[in-house]
Amino acid sequence: MRWNWQFPDWPAFRFDADRIRASEEQFLKGSGVVIGALHHLDANERDGLTIELISQEIVDSSAIEGEILDRASVQSSLARHLGFATDQRRASAAEAGAAELMADVYRNHAAPLDDQTLFDWHAMLMNGRRDIAVVGRYRTHEDAMQIVSGALHAPRVHFEAPPSDAVPMEMSRFIAWFNDSAPSSPNPLPAITRAAISHLWFEGIHPFEDGNGRIGRAIAEKALAQNLAAPTLTALAETIHRHRKAYYAALQLGSQSNDINAWLKWFSDIVIEAQARTITRIHFLIDKTRLLDRLRGEINERQEKALLRMFREGPDGFAGGLSAGNGEARGPVQWRTARP
């Protein structure tokens, strides 16, 4: 099988911009909704939401690759990097490194992309790893860079990246395109289109020994943020994780041709779904604040604790609902005063 980088037209990706024009417009409108909704939150609530959304992205981006991180430890580490108050919970090397990477994406989203930024991100992500020969630099090994599954004696090759000696040139071309396609640059591209191409292109080069998926998704987040001139807080990795199998299938299909219409459509649908999740979370927090304000002085301490326990489950809902069993686990609670 030939891969996209082996075709003569690589990396001249072919696509019909009209196919996702509606998604591009919807994303821009949704971004306005996010910005407007955030104005209804006070500073502490905005900080808390920022930590919650970014830490969930960190946990889910690692989970896509099969690495499980502790969400509370990630939140604590991320809060330290962003200068927010924290409980000083200890984080593992992997949790601290992943949090540092995403804090850098959040703070420096407007900065151009360059080799050193990517090297720094890789060093953060590989924090504490002893099994990686080259950390903070592009891969140099002579063996083929392949994504495989199955038994050792009969592996299934899902993708093979360009050889290591071609990576510096490939990355130079990719970085030049990324910066040249930014909103204020000579050849700007719409937000979703640019994020989708940047992710697929970066994954096609696969420049590092490990961590390419997580860094590739961080680049996509950076692209979206640059086009909005603000951190997106879009639940991109969380949503991709929910469609993990389809994600790998879409990437594999996209790596087999430089006609990327199918990949653009799949990615645009994911971005719109991710943004909708963010909007739902913001509205949930606003509604939570309003309800607690309305009930202040009308409910007792046990009722307030039960409400807060429910709210911790987020907009996806309280497992099992507010059943008698769930209420009795914390003692009997009367809900007559908890009016909507």
Q: Partners of 148 in the beta sheet? A: 157
The class (CATH top level) of 4-287 is: mainly alpha
Q: Is 135 left (phi over 0), alpha (psi -120 to 50) or beta?
A: beta
Dist CA 322 CA 327 (whole Å): 7
C-alpha distances in Å from residue 85, one per residue of 49, 284, 307, 308: 13, 23, 24, 20
Q: Where are the domains of the chain?
A: 4-287, 308-340
Under DSSP, the state recorded for 163 is P
- CA 52, 56, 59, 61 dihedral sign is negative
Please report which helix (H) or strand (E) contains residue 157, including its range: strand 156-160
Can you give the pLDDT of all 340 residues of the chain as single tens digits? 899 999 999 999 999 999 999 999 999 999 999 988 888 888 888 898 899 999 999 999 999 999 999 999 999 999 999 988 667 788 999 999 999 999 999 999 999 999 999 999 999 999 989 999 999 999 999 999 998 887 777 778 999 999 999 999 999 999 999 999 999 999 999 999 999 999 999 999 999 999 999 999 999 999 999 999 988 788 999 999 999 999 999 999 999 999 999 999 999 999 999 999 999 988 888 888 888 788 888 888 887 777 777 776 667 654 444 443 444 433 334 433 343 3
